[in-house]
Structure 1
Amino acid sequence: MDDKSLKSEIADSWNAEADYYDSHVSHGIQTGEEKKLWIEAFEAVLPAGNGPLDILDVGCGTGAMGLILSGMGHNVTGIDLSEGMMNIGRRKAKDTGLSMVFQSGDAENPPFEDGTFDCVINRHLLWTLPNPDAALGNWCRVLKAGGKVLVIDGLWDDGKLSTKTKRKISRTIAKIVEKHPHESRYGEDLSSSLPNLGGVPEEKAKEYFSKAGLAEISVKSLAHIRENQKKRLNWYEKLNASWSYYLVSGVKRG
């Protein structure tokens, strides 16, 4: 598949899931307790500064992370291929009086001038990128010197037979009992074009950061957030719920 076709299928897939994406645990922020944990995680890694930061949320979806950062007082712009997902985010921003801006854009190649932002962030995005190396390079490009890239991701399919069996059982039950089970709608051609379809190991994420020339690369475990989310999972979802979850950060050299 060419790049245009890949991106079109990705957008269509997430448009189809937009209306109920936030209803799934680990997608939408469903409790004040979880929101507080995210705020604490961001406070520990955001670039130091005296005022609001200019933050780009790439692959922003319904704005789960960007709206938290906007609520913390930062200037947040979110881009995504899926208008359906962003429409949900726009509605949430309006309902909460937050100023996060949503605009169409390719997460792998943000449509902004060099050195525009203090921080580029994304959550659950790296696994769905056909060209992660190019994406990291472009995220660095739109950063100011001393700015940070923050990536939140995990590894939910390590390729082991036991993992695949648990995932299959969990998904089968979800299809039976849930009106809108969360599942990948990616076709075979698209799936084969994604190098991290089962998630991104921490070491692989660090490798992407290093290749992009980022410095001070650090990985922080988000296991405590995952444990908080697990309290709200259905029993069959817990069959394969103990996977790696982390935030990796890196600084653009001056």
Structure 2
Amino acid sequence: MSDVAARPNYDLRDEIKAYWSARAATFDLSPGHEIFSEEERAAWHRLFLRHLGEGAGRSAFDLASGTGVVSHLLDDLGFRVTGLDWAEPMLELARRKATARGRNISFRIGDAENTMELDGHYDVVVNRHLVWTLVAPAAAFKEWLRVLKPGGRLLIVDGDFVNTNRLERFFSALNAWGQRLGLLKPDAPSLSREMMNTHRSILSRVHFSHGARADAVVDLLRAAGFVDIEVDTGLHDIHRTQAKNWNFFKGLARRTQHRYAIAASKPKEAA
């Protein structure tokens, strides 16, 4: 863990922000972060269409938008997209990427757990790999409900990155063994030991320190007031296309993980 974590007035949320700010420079180099093929892009489009439908000019809010990967997917489908992230280096890259691609996406600095947005402002709220990092998910889910229009849709893409099954451990061990011997393609980019330790430290102290299982997320969403909640574990097309950028065993390990999309709605009539 970074020594700044021990400073007065520097809490876990500040440490999470600093960690992702430091990760910004290499974020898009990792399969599973940026999209590396049109085949993968199409797989993400199918997931979004399945749960959100066509954009048709509707407003979408991409929380913890990072370098804008999900924002671009939503823009592809015709949504009017606003991305929110609290790491300025991520936002700088996102704005640069949107300009280069000629995309009209608004990126703002802000906190996904306290967005400061107007009530009932968005048709859709989306996030990817955010929930596992939340310090106070119950409050965050109420916040996301608040900014949605009545009948609006939430889509969460996340997973349990703590608990592993036997198959994942087996494939991960083969992956590590093959990389050590130089027989398998190395993970790219590889994190420094300091960054890996910071990641582990953060993960041990967030709300879902024991793993963001889908059923636990659903319980909190229901308590926050969401309805029509659906857990979708059919992400195999996405994982299959991503696996082409890893070595064989890394790809197999990814497919065995507990990853999911959760779709939910705000009631059409305010409670």
TM-score interval (norm. to shorter): 0.7 to 0.9
Over 3 Å counting, the alpha-carbon distance change for 1:48 and 1:37 in structure 2 is closer
Aligned to 1:229: 242
Over 3 Å counting, the alpha-carbon distance change for 1:165 and 1:11 in structure 2 is farther
1:40-189 paired onto structure 2 within 5 Å: 40-46=46-52, 51-159=56-164, 163=168, 167=172, 170=175, 173=179, 180-182=189-191, 184-186=196-198
Q: CA deviation at 1:39?
A: 1.1
Larger radius of gyration: 2
Over 3 Å counting, the alpha-carbon distance change for 1:68 and 1:215 in structure 2 is same
- 1:37 is paired with a residue whose SS is helix
Over 3 Å counting, the alpha-carbon distance change for 1:98 and 1:179 in structure 2 is closer
Aligned to 1:248: 262
Q: CA deviation at 1:93?
A: 0.6
- The structure 2 residue matched to 1:193, chosen from 180, 205, 209, is 205
Aligned to 1:213: 225
Aligned to 2:27: 21
d(CA) in 1 for partners of 2:238, 2:145: 27
Over 3 Å counting, the alpha-carbon distance change for 1:106 and 1:231 in structure 2 is same
d(CA) in 1 for partners of 2:176, 2:102: 37
- The structure 2 residue matched to 1:36, chosen from 42, 58, 67, is 42
* Paired residue type of 1:129: L
Length-normalised TM-score, structure 2 = 0.82
**Superposed CA RMSD:** 2.7
Task: Check conservation: 2:61, 2:125, Cα contact below 8 A.
Answer: yes
Note the residue ranges of structure 2 that are not aligned, 5 or more in a row.
none
The percent of aligned pairs where both chains have the same amino acid is: 30
Q: How many residues align?
A: 252
Length-normalised TM-score, structure 1 = 0.87
Note the residue ranges of structure 1 that are not aligned, 5 or more in a row.
none
